[in-house]
Structure 1
């Protein structure tokens, strides 16, 4: 069974084309200013023109206000918003209603309580994404894309009413084990297909997507 793959943090036409050609189900564009993967709405709009209609274009924001989201959507034609901050259940519902787009809510995970807390979002989000919560001791940590994994066994046997993706330190070497442990049918990765933060590797994108078709 092939798994669906979301490649996030795309910044160049070559990386977008590699993800498209490799069969990615979703492409992520990062609008978080502190990230090395951040793109402007105009660049995301240009890159989005390379993406066929059947591939979902996702915009990643972190605790963004309505004005910031509206500015992004005025230029970039996105299919989904990814809320990767500390957005509450109420804020998640508000964003979904106000902008008329499906919403993916990211759940930062370090223990079982975080998995349990995700249940509250099932009624307001269209998808969930489980990512590793960076430790407080980690300097300059981003909300995601830190090449960190969490204890995959926390998701074993869990069922959710909404589709979900697994993220956090995934790469070609560990994704098979991650899928076995969690039962994930979709994964999201950024650092795992990079040569360095913010610089995607065309060969790693191809390798990962080829592998995903065999899982």
Structure 2
């Protein structure tokens, strides 16, 4: 089964549901403008519910060193940066000895090539839909890019797929793209920032069906 990440978790019930359905990674969003934002102190007891072997991913946008230290102190095991330079990725990997993922927005084949080059030492390149120019968030907007671009423009490195994935289309995305990971946020929500236990279960079943 393709590993999957449930991103933007904020409650014990949805953390427990994500673990129960076999999520490989759980994401916690530390970017204040996001409706899924949670601060490190509030995230710590949720992260403590996650068993060993399940990734605890911090979603970060231009974080300063203090925030990085705080999320690691809360129990995070993977840092996910949005549109960060390769030098910053390398510095964080070296300083904290943790995996670092790069999330990058995609709309064209050229974007895929640029993202692959920018990822540098990142452990995973997470391809998301490029946010509209007026969007307040770099990701998590419920938008998908044209996955067919990846049929003949696959990165030559380990990559995951995010952006607009949901119960109705994740199996198609997996069959078409064959990513190392699929990542869902808004696709398992009742409304912005509020996850549904039932939708988390249905998403996991759809991944298995692929």
TM-score of the pair, normalised by structure 1? 0.92
Match of 2:108 among 103, 106, 111: 111
- Which stretch of structure 1 is more off in the superposition, 181-190 or 151-160? 151-160
Aligned residues: 210
| Partner Cα separation in structure 2 for residue 24 and residue 37 of structure 1 | 18
Deviations 1:145-180 (A, max 9, x none): 100000101111445454221000000111122122
Q: Which of the residues 103, 125, 128 maps onto 2:125?
A: 128
Instruction: Give unmatched runs, 5+ long, in structure 2.
Output: none
* CA deviation string 1:57-116 (max 9, x = no partner): 001100111122112223x111100002x3111111112112221101011101111110
The ranges of structure 1 where at least 4 consecutive aligned residues each deviate by more than 6 angstroms after the TM superposition are none
Find the aligned partners of 1:176 and 1:126 in 2 and give their Cα distance: 24
- Matches of 2:209 and 2:200 in 1, distance apart? 15
Extract unaligned runs of 5+ from structure 1. none
Q: What CA RMSD, in Å, does the superposition of the two structures yield over aligned residues?
A: 1.4
Distance 1:109 1:122 in 2: 13
Task: Find the counterpart in structure 2 of residue 8 from structure 1.
Answer: 7
Quick check: 121-130 or 205-214, which moved more?
A: 121-130
